[in-house]
């Protein structure tokens, strides 16, 4: 088998591939445990096991297919001399008589024997022709002519394997002349067309025409170029235009069996958004989202919870319903989403890639109950839906047909997407009570529907029957009252204060405060972090304190109820606040059509006017307060003489010293403004003024006065100070 078409791989080749253990021994152990399709082959020094591609994990299959993709054949004189149209080839085959078709089939059978020897038996092509020719009493040269061709007809090696039968019918010669095309033009077109944006052929050809006219390239017609593109192997085209997610679709999906499981051993969960408008008690109209838990073995829906969004509360509460009614599963498969992979559910799982993993995170519900968590496969950055059986219940003919299109929801159905709205779109919204009642009845009917076409039901049983038969004979783990607190309650790591109290943030989403709790038993844990488990719908009641390794401490009472009483109410408040902010932003943006930067850019530049040096200045003197009598002091004759001497001495001081008061911020700021203007005009300042100018602008008063003068345009900065 050629390197491009390999389907069998040894453990050495598979080691350290995506989805597989790092070493050969681990690969063999996983193969034995999961029952991979295996065969033994002879190798130097003994034998070894090879494993079929279809048995490997899907991420490993994608990596191997990508690794062994056939590379595009470079243009050569031989490849340019011959090309063919598969459709024309098979039309030629259909027009031939049955006798020629049977002869072509016999030739094909012999050539397939040759290929089998070369691909599986380590036999050279020449020896394979010799062996098959001897066994079938036919000329070896004749068979080689079928494969390699003759002067008048190309052999099958020039055709795709699926076209060999038609090519062995005589008479078809294909196109032996290829239109001229410059190599650079061909590479240009491939680079444009074979990319993940998946541009249309017409757009790429138009770009090629424009570029070719400028570069002087020779290019063929559209039909010829289409044939050249189709000559590139399909797997290569799909990978380059659709990536790994598209490539994996070309390979048959692995068929997984659930025969070795039993009821409740493995469950999987996912959220489904209903295509129905629902009226909530607060007057909001929205589409509800339901989280479903499904049994992998029987495909029965075990539990569900409905909410406005996919969140931790609905996932946790619905899982509690599963454990309450049926027991604790051994395995669970979920998406690695923010809601499903939250730390309250999966905290402590080593391969959790959502949120920051901290050492003091509380153990999540799944690892605490000994449940092994499995994440759905991700190929090329996209989820792999085949890994979760519950998603098949959401597809064509699934729950949506029975729930969303229920007769009681007439007029409220939204359609699966905006392009498929019904004529009565948004005619009404069903009350939440009606929606929940219909949902309950239809889930019961879904599980009870007979003749299900699954591996276990076998076209005879219902999901209920398949689950019950296995559940009655299975060993089921049940939970005690202490464990029940864990799945019914959320967990949060909190630091204990010195007085034995702590504060929960769970009710603070509305901005109305947080709830404070206290317990005497927590005094010994002052300064340490503990795990607090609480009912998100009763935050004003009792909460339960645990150590970080899940040792029970005791109950704590709410001593200060300032936050919301339940997390759903807080989340609803936050949602409405976000809607309000978003709507206001949109309205504001629509109101102001021109961007402020555009306004700034359109403003004309004004020349800087020359500042004249004032000849006469008037000092600023505070006016006395009006409306009340200002008492005048009674001075003695000696005091009057002292005052007159002080005034005469003060009149001889420089003007600046007369008006600057240490307690007048406006005067100080005016002085700085005038000094700054003098500096800009190239004038010299005294040492005192220079020091004042430099130090004043570093203080808080300077920044305050700048803002003050900007707000009050009547403030006169130009007054000499």
pLDDT band at 462 (very low <50, low <70, confident <90, very high): very high
Pick the more confident residue, 709 or 155: 155
> What is the average pLDDT score of the chain?
76
**pLDDT confidence of residue 377:** 59
**pLDDT confidence of residue 548:** 84
**pLDDT confidence of residue 424:** 84
347-389 pLDDT tens trace: 545 554 444 544 444 456 777 778 888 777 555 545 455 567 8
**pLDDT confidence of residue 537:** 59
Contacts 24+ apart (CB under 8 A), 497-500: 497/526, 498/526, 498/527, 499/523, 499/526, 500/525, 500/526
Pick the more confident residue, 60 or 26: 26
- Paired residues of 543 in beta bridges: 556
Counts of helices then strands in the chain (DSSP H, E): 27, 19
Those residues with Cβ within 8 angstroms of residue 74's Cβ, 6 or more apart along the chain or in another chain = none
Q: Which of 146-150, 224-228, 393-397, 713-717 has the lowest mean pLDDT?
A: 713-717
**pLDDT confidence of residue 669:** 85
Pick the more confident residue, 604 or 483: 483
Q: How far apart are the C-alpha atoms of 489 and 47, rounded to whole Å?
A: 56
603-652 pLDDT tens trace: 444 455 665 555 555 555 555 544 445 455 567 777 777 777 766 665 65
- Mean pLDDT is highest, among 468-477, 556-565, 587-596, 651-660, for 468-477
pLDDT band at 542 (very low <50, low <70, confident <90, very high): confident
- Closest Cα to residue 165, out of 116, 237, 92? 92
Q: How far apart are the C-alpha atoms of 694 and 676, rounded to whole Å?
A: 10
Q: State CA 684 to chain mean position distance.
A: 65
Look at residue 402 and tell me whether its pLDDT is greater than 50. Answer: yes
Q: How far apart are the C-alpha atoms of 325 and 321, rounded to whole Å?
A: 6
Look at residue 578 and tell me whether its pLDDT is greater than 70. Answer: no
Q: How far apart are the C-alpha atoms of 131 and 134, rounded to whole Å?
A: 5
Cα 168-174-178 angle, rounded to 5 deg = 150
Q: State CA 229 to chain mean position distance.
A: 33
The stretch 293-315 carries a mean pLDDT of 88
Other CB atoms closer than 10 Å to residue 262's CB: what's the count? 20
Instruction: Fill in the DSSP letter of residue 624.
Output: P
Q: Which of 31-40, 155-164, 177-186, 678-687 has the lowest mean pLDDT?
A: 177-186
The stretch 455-467 carries a mean pLDDT of 92
Pick the more confident residue, 705 or 613: 705
Those residues with Cβ within 8 angstroms of residue 678's Cβ, 6 or more apart along the chain or in another chain = 685
Pick the more confident residue, 392 or 378: 392
Helix 687-696, helix 665-680: angle, nearest 10: 110
> Do the Cβ atoms of 680 and 614 come closer than 8 Å?
no
Q: State CA 639 to chain mean position distance.
A: 87
pLDDT band at 572 (very low <50, low <70, confident <90, very high): low
Look at residue 264 and tell me whether its pLDDT is greater than 70. Answer: yes
């Amino acid at each position: 088998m050629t390197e491009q078409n390999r389907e069998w791989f040894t453990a050495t080749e598979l080691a350290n591939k995506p989805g597989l253990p790092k070493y050969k021994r681990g690969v063999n152990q996983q193969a034995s445990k999961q029952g991979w399709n295996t065969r033994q082959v002879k190798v130097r020094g003994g034998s070894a096991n090879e494993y079929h591609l279809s048995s490997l994990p899907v991420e490993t299959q994608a990596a191997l297919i990508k690794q062994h993709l056939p590379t595009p054949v470079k243009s050569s004189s031989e490849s340019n001399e011959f090309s063919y149209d598969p459709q024309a080839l098979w039309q030629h085959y259909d027009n031939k008589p049955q006798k020629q078709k049977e002869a072509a089939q016999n030739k094909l059978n012999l050539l397939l024997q040759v290929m089998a020897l070369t691909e599986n038996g380590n036999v050279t092509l020449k020896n394979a022709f010799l062996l098959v020719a001897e066994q079938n009493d036919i000329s070896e040269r004749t068979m080689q002519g079928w494969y390699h061709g003759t002067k008048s007809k190309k052999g099958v090696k020039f055709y795709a394997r699926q076209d060999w039968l038609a090519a062995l019918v005589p008479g078809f010669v294909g196109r032996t002349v290829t239109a001229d095309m410059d190599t650079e033009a061909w590479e240009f077109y491939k680079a444009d067309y074979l990319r993940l944006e998946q541009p249309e052929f017409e757009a790429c050809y138009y770009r090629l025409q424009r570029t070719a006219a400028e570069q002087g390239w020779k290019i063929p017609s559209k039909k010829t170029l289409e044939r050249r593109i189709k000559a590139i192997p399909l797997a290569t085209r799909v990978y380059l235009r659709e990536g790994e997610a598209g490539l994996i679709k070309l390979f048959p999906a692995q068929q997984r069996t659930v025969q070795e499981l039993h009821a409740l051993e493995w469950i999987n969960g996912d959220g489904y958004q209903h295509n129905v408008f629902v009226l909530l008690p607060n007057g909001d109209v929205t589409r509800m989202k339901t989280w479903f838990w499904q049994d992998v073995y029987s495909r029965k829906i075990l539990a569900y919870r409905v909410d406005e969004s996919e969140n931790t509360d609905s996932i946790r509460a619905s899982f509690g319903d599963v454990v309450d009614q049926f027991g604790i599963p051994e395995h669970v498969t979920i998406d690695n989403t923010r809601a499903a992979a939250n730390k309250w559910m999966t905290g402590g799982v080593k391969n959790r890639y959502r949120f920051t993993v901290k050492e003091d995170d509380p153990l999540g519900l799944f690892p605490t109950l000994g449940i092994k968590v499995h994440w759905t496969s991700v190929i090329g950055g996209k989820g792999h839906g085949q890994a979760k059986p519950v998603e098949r219940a959401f597809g064509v003919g699934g729950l949506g047909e029975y729930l969303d299109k229920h007769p009681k929801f007439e007029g409220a159905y939204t359609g699966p997407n905006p392009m498929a709205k019904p004529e009565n779109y948004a005619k009404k919204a069903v009350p939440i009570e009606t929606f929940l009642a219909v949902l309950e009845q239809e889930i019961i009917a879904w599980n009870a529907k007979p003749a299900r076409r699954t591996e276990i039901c076998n076209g005879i049983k219902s999901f209920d029957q398949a689950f019950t038969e296995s559940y009655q004979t299975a060993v089921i783990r049940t939970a005690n009252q202490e464990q029940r607190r864990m799945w019914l309650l959320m967990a949060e790591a909190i630091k204990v204060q010195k007085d034995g109290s702590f504060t929960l943030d769970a009710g603070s989403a509305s901005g109305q405060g947080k709830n404070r709790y206290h317990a005497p038993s927590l005094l010994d844990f002052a300064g340490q972090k503990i795990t607090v488990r609480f009912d998100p719908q009763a935050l004003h009641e009792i909460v339960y304190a645990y150590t970080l390794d899940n040792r029970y401490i005791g109950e704590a009472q709410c001593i200060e109820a300032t936050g919301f009483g339940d997390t759903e109410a807080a989340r609803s408040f936050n949602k409405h606040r976000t809607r309000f902010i978003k709507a206001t932003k949109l309205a504001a943006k629509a109101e102001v059509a021109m961007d402020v930067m555009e306004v700034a850019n359109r403003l004309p530049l004004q020349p800087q006017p020359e500042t004249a040096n004032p000849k006469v200045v008037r000092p600023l003197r505070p006016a006395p307060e009006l409306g009340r009598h200002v008492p005048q002091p009674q001075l003695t004759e000696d005091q009057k003489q002292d005052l007159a001497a002080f005034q005469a001495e003060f009149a001889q001081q420089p003007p600046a010293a007369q008006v600057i008061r240490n307690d007048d911020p406006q005067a100080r700021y005016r002085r700085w403004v005038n000094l700054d203007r003098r500096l800009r005009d190239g004038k010299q300042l005294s040492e005192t003024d220079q020091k004042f100018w430099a130090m004043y602008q570093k203080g808080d008063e300077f920044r305050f006065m700048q803002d003050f003068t900007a707000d009050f345009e009547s403030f006169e900065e130009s007054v000499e100070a």
